[in-house]
Amino acid sequence: MKTLVRIPLNTSPEQMVKLLELQAAFAQVCNALAPLVQKTRCWNRVALHHMSYKTLRDQFPAMGSQMVCNAIYSVSRTSRLVFQHPQSPFSLARLGDKPLPLLQFAASCPVYFDRHTLSVKPGQLSLYTLDGRMRFELALAPEVEEGFRQKKLREIVLSRRLDGVFELAFMFSDEGDELAEPQAEAGAGEIPEYVMVEEAV
């Protein structure tokens, strides 16, 4: 069974700036990778990693190695949604042999974290930024703390809400459960609002 926990972050003005910078830098890495997906028609996460990791690390030295891996995951995940969802207007079933469109990630795109780039301890959360670790006081409900101990953490996503507040979403599942494909989570094949799809001419 999947469980989604959302935690808003109480950021200082300085922390807000750093998170905005991280979000924009994460989008830059995604946008550097997107043309490779368009060219190769490959969005398998492992294959993308082998094709692009070293180049991306050289191109974005300020971005930590694990965050580059998370950006590769983001592009792979989004590409599956855009090109595989049966109701997506850009699904392979509709495109056939036509060139793939180019995905462009807005600076407001979500940032993916993992256990290497974000940690939760009693009363405190620590996450990676371009300027080192950032810490927040965190009061978790007992059932949420239990989830961190007992369940498998599948995804951690940092996003900015419409009211400007940064929020972390933690996706848990029971051991043995497979994480649903993103196309199963999206409504009616909708393209995420942070992705622009440039159709090939």
Residue with tokens 């700036």: 17
- In the DSSP assignment, the letter for residue 88 is -
Residue 179 has pLDDT above 70, yes or no: no
Check whether 123 has a pLDDT greater than 90.
no
Q: Which range is least confidently modeled, 97-106, 155-164, 192-201?
A: 192-201
First to last CA, the chain: 43
Cα–Cα distances in angstroms (integers) from residue 52 to residues 39, 72, 93, 119, in the given order: 13, 8, 26, 27
Rg (CA), the chain: 17
Question: pLDDT, tens digit, for every residue of 31-58?
Answer: 999 999 999 999 999 999 999 999 999 9
User: Would the pLDDT of 107 be above 80?
Assistant: yes
